Amino acid sequence: MNVKNTVIVITGAGGGLGGAMAKRLATLGARLALLDYRIEPMEELQASLGLQQDDCMLIACDVSNEEAVDKAFTQIKNLFGSTDVLVNNAGITRDALMVKTEEGQLISRMSLEDWNAVINVNLTGVFLCGRAAAQHMTEAGGPGLIVNISSISRGGNMGQSNYSAAKAGVAAMAVTWARELAAYGIRVNAISPGFIGTDMVANMKPEALTKLSAMIPVGRIGEADEIAHTVQFIIENDFVNGRNIEVDGGMRL
């Protein structure tokens, strides 16, 4: 699939990874639909892309809300006529140990609220957006592509029961959907980033960053554009399907 003139939907576009994807794909001539629950960072991003208004639409959308997602994809269809590519990138963290005790006394435990918040956005949101995109792609007769952004944490990471569970599910859905949707000419893949230099990571204490970098075989934190470059590769290589590409500098959890 050629990126130029392709309609690409990016969820979580207000964050570092989503912004990097939008910038790289815009330079290649993509037409973008950017979704995030916050409109302000997307407006700043849009101003930096240099795209005509008809080639870049912004939609404030809670991806965990079924009605909001279906409405957003209808808006995309009304403006662009189709959805060619969906990058399921929206995600949040609410880290905590499942249970923490000291000398037999409960100190804390992961709240159901924090569990549900992460599952709702990171897993249910991926399902809702994937379903809406697949519906429009199949109705248009294909071809199409869905890219789910998973994580190195899908293998299990201390303090991330909710996030790890969601990201494991996201990777599994990519395989499931690839099998279900191949008959319609729709490919589905996943990307599992390692530690990437988004604001959340970059704002860590210097000593923590140094320690983290030492754990990565290539000796550094990844760059957001390296994940965006992987998205570009998947778009352009039509034989990549049902795969989870790990982009983590050789680190494994």
Task: Give the residue numbers marked as catalytic.
Answer: 163
Report residue 128 as tokens.
């809702």
Contacts of 162 (CB under 8 A, 6+ apart): 94, 110, 114, 115, 117, 118, 119, 122
Report residue 15 as tokens.
């964050």
Contacts of 187 (CB under 8 A, 6+ apart): 143, 144, 145, 146, 178, 181, 234, 238, 240, 241, 242
Report residue 47 as tokens.
């101003």
Residue 48, number of CB atoms within 10 A of its CB: 11
Please name which of 14, 46, 19 lies closest in space to residue 223, comparing C-alpha atoms: 19
* 171 in Cβ contact with 148 (< 8 Å): yes
Paired sense of beta strands 105-109 and 99-102, if any: antiparallel
Place of tokens 């209808």: 74
